[in-house]
């Protein structure tokens, strides 16, 4: 007879792809975990994990069994959440992944208040690129992602929260500073600086400007930055321009904000969402997190109709 404990074990092994780490996560010895999984396989008459491959991976049938196991565990876990809701208790550990172009500007304005409002919630936050957040959600390494959507990722649910403008920042002597507003075609220039590969905001800039083949021949040196702040400082000293999301602009001093230009209509926007696996069962936490973020950001960011969403995929 299949037990919930056995299902927890196979989900843990799939998550860590390693018997020892899975056993540590489940607070049991590795021999006990291995024995229980072997017994499950014998009872079902199937092989769930391919033990000849490293790292450990599930068989094709094993993937289907693990997916069903996650659904079963989620439904079972809802019993605890029903009780918590009845008692008005909000607690437990929440693991959040957030992209680097949001973390410095969004986290400081909401995460501390969220913790103070719900002190029994143990919050763990990690700064990750989008592709790593998606992988971590699929493998249950994190619970929630805060990133730019749409993702259109199988088994990942998206809950849009706000929409920030993409704006132009340039050197004080750059010709764009003569304009009160700019057009998209105005910034498809060979002196535009970009973030490094892996940043979804880089892809948004490329998609917006349709500049996939732009040789960038007027930059003083080749450089793909890991942070928006680095790009801003490079531009201050070496010239050129870049694009910045609205929250990053709001974080600037007045001198730099004077060199920020908005686009003419339709204004390009990036959609920021909370994303989570369809197996995540703590809907109340998602609701509370959305409410906290929405209450801490400028209210006009909640309005999707003020511009056009730029996709990054």
pLDDT tens, position by position, 178-213? 888 999 988 888 899 999 999 999 999 989 987 655
Domain end point (choices 58, 85, 112): 85
Query: Count of domains in the chain?
Result: 3
**Quick one: 195 and 231 in the same domain?**
yes
Q: What letter would DSSP give residue 253?
A: -
52 and 96, same domain (yes or no): no
pLDDT of residue 306: 92
pLDDT of residue 88: 77
Statement to judge: residues 141 and 223 lie in one domain = no
How, if at all, do strands 144-149 and 308-309 pair?
Answer: unpaired
Whether 87 has a pLDDT exceeding 90, the answer reads no
**20 and 51 part of one domain:** yes
Asked whether residue 82 carries a pLDDT value surpassing 80, the answer given is no
Is there a single domain that holds both residue 74 and residue 217?
A: no
CATH number at residue 236: 3.40.190.10
Task: Please tell me whether residues 113 and 124 are part of one structural domain.
Answer: yes
Q: What is the pLDDT of residue 211?
A: 65
> What is the extent of the structural domain holding 18?
4-85
The mean of the pLDDT values for the chain is: 91
- Locate tokens 């703590």: which residue? 282
Which residues lie across from 168 on neighbouring strands? Answer: 243, 261
Whether residue 173 is found in the same domain as residue 262: yes
Q: Residue range 213-240: average pLDDT?
A: 82
18 vs 30: CA distance, rounded Å? 10
CA dist., res. 205 & res. 182, Å (int): 15
* Same domain membership, residue 172 and residue 40: no
List of long-range contacts for 225-229, beta carbons under 8 Å, 24+ apart: 225/193, 225/194, 225/195, 225/196, 226/100, 226/195, 226/196, 227/100, 227/104, 227/195, 228/101, 228/195, 228/201, 229/104
> H or E element: which one contains 163?
strand 156-170
- What values do phi and psi take at 252, rounded to 5? -80, 160
**CATH number, domain with residue 37:** 1.10.10.10
- Are 148 and 232 in a shared domain? no
Q: 115 near 43, Cβ under 8 Å?
A: no
pTM (whole model) above 0.75: yes
CB-side exposure of 176: number of CA atoms within 13 Å? 27
Per-residue pLDDT at 9 = 93
Query: 195 with 262, same domain?
Result: yes
Backbone angles phi, psi at 126, to 5 degrees: -135, 135
Same domain (yes/no): 173, 158: no
Under 8 Å between Cβ of 96 and 143 = yes
For the segment 203-231, the average pLDDT, to the nearest whole number, is: 79
* Judgement on whether residues 139 and 278 belong to the same structural domain of the protein: yes
Chain segment 11-68, per-residue pLDDT in tens: 999 988 888 999 998 999 999 999 999 999 999 999 999 888 888 889 999 999 998 9
At 300 the pLDDT is 96
Mean pLDDT of 270-286: 92
- DSSP 3-state assignment of 255? helix
Query: Any idea which residue has 């793909």 for tokens?
Result: 224
């Amino acid at each position: 007879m299949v037990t919930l404990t056995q299902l927890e074990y196979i989900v843990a092994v799939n998550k860590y792809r390693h018997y020892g780490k899975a056993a540590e996560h489940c607070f049991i010895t590795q021999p006990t975990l291995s024995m229980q999984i072997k017994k499950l396989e014998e009872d079902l008459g199937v092989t769930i994990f391919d033990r000849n491959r490293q790292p450990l991976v599930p068989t094709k049938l094993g993937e289907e069994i693990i997916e069903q196991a996650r659904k079963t565990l989620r439904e079972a876990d809802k019993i605890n959440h029903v009780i918590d809701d009845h008692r008005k208790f909000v607690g437990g550990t929440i693991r959040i992944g957030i992209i680097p172009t949001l973390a410095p500007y969004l986290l400081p304005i909401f995460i501390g208040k969220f913790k103070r409002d719900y002190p029994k919630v143990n919050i763990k936050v990690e700064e990750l690129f989008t592709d790593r957040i998606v992988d971590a959600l699929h493998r249950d390494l994190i619970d929630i992602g805060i990133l730019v959507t749409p993702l259109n990722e199988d088994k990942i649910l998206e809950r849009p929260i706000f929409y920030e403008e993409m704006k132009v920042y340039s050197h004080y002597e750059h010709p764009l500073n003569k304009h009160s507003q700019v057009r998209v075609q105005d910034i498809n220039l060979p002196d535009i600086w970009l973030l490094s590969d892996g940043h979804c905001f880089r892809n948004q800039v490329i998609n917006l400007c349709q500049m996939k083949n732009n040789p960038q021949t007027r930059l003083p040196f080749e450089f793909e930055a890991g942070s928006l702040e680095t790009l801003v400082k490079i531009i201050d000293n070496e010239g050129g321009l870049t694009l910045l999301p609205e929250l990053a602009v709001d974080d600037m001093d007045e001198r730099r904000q004077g060199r920020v230009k908005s686009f003419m209509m339709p204004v390009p926007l990036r959609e920021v969402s909370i994303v989570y696996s369809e197996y995540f069962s703590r809907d109340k936490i998602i609701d509370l997190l959305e409410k906290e973020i929405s209450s801490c950001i400028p209210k006009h960011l909640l309005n999707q109709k003020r511009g056009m969403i730029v996709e990054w995929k």
